[in-house]
Amino acid sequence: MAILQDDDARFKGLEKKIGIFVLVAVVGILFAVVSIGIQQGVFASTTRIYFVTDSGQDINERMAVQLSGFKIGHVVQLALTETAKVRVTLSINDKYMQWIRSDSKAKLLKEGFIGDAVIEITPGTDKNGPLPEESTIVFARDPGLNDVVGNLYDEVVPLIKDLKRVTEYIASPEGDFRQSVRKTNDLLSSLPETRKKLDAVLTDTANQLPSIMRSGRETLEKSKKVVDSVSRTWPINKNIEPPKAEMLPADSYDNRGIPARQP
């Protein structure tokens, strides 16, 4: 017994309708998958190149490969070599291969200081053109946070040790520094007394200075007279040339220095 009557108008052509719906859904799903694939570069043709590094630390499959900040491919495979090194295979979109030459270099760096790691490839300048499939490029690893901190530690620790040593030296009661400070304090405390004595000496000298100067001038004048009279006495006056006024010379060949000239 039929639960629903077959002659109900709502069920007429139901199978056909369901079939069209399923078909449209499948086509839509396929279209979405293809679109996403195109967007993700699944269907783009790529070239595989690789580099070898001592360690695969921080390098993962699917990791982005960039050139001048643009994503140009990704890491497809990490494999250990016979010498226990890591061979990292990169898949590079063909349209970006034009900038990757034999002198290009790959390096591992962080996006920001603590962001995701990426492989950055530098553009090459080699005139032989883009690298062929399965070529090798040079790899270098940028110093990470640990390396930077380690280097800073090595630099700062000796400085701190030196600073500690200097502080201990200054603080030592028997050290030169403390003794110098003590002596300077003693000297400064005796300064007012010294100044008083100096003031007294200066006052005394200032009172006597005019008479000293006067007598000095008199002595000088008397000495000058004696020297003048002696210098005019024969035979001494024969050997003393008296100062006389002179005229500035004027050279007949040239008045102000001789320029070299053609005769």
Q: Which of residues 30-59 bind another protein (CB under 8 A)?
A: none
List Cα–Cα distances, 3 to 7, 16, 244, in angstroms. Answer: 12, 21, 154
Stretch that binds another protein, among 20-28, 120-128, 200-208, 240-248 (CB under 8 A): 240-248
Looking at the Cβ atoms of 164 and 224, the one nearer to another protein is 224
Total residues in contact with another protein, by rule CB under 8 A: 28
Residue 210 in the binding site for another protein (CB under 8 A): no
Our finding on whether 255 is near another protein (CB under 8 A) is yes
Indicate the residue type of 83.
T
Whether 52 and 86 have beta carbons less than 8 Å apart is answered as: yes
Nearest approach in angstroms of CB 250 to another protein is 6
The partner residues of 110 in beta bridges, in order of sequence, read: 117
Largest Cα–Cα separation, the chain: 174
CA 80 to each of CA 51, 76, 77, 85, 88: distance values in angstroms, whole numbers, following the listed order: 12, 14, 10, 6, 9
Run of H or E residues at 30: helix 14-39
Which among 21-29, 49-57, 146-154, 254-262 is the span making contact with another protein, rule CB under 8 A? Answer: 254-262
> In this complex, which beta carbon is closest to another protein, that of residue 128 or of residue 239?
239
Q: How far is the CB of 160 from another protein (least distance, A)?
A: 58
| Cβ neighbour number for residue 90 with a 10 Å cutoff | 23
Q: Is 239 in the site for another protein (CB under 8 A)?
A: no
Binding flag, residue 189, another protein (CB under 8 A): no
What span, in angstroms and rounded, lies between the C-alpha atoms of 122 and 49? 14
Does the footprint of another protein cover residue 258 (CB under 8 A)?
yes
Strand ordering across the sheet containing 138-141 = 135-136, 46-53, 86-93, 70-80, 64-67, 117-121, 105-110, 138-141
Residue ranges in 219-238 that form contacts with another protein under rule CB under 8 A: 231-235, 237-238
As measured in angstroms, the least distance from the Cβ of 216 to another protein is: 22
Q: Rule CB under 8 A: which residues touch another protein? A: 231-235, 237-238, 240, 242-248, 250-261, 263
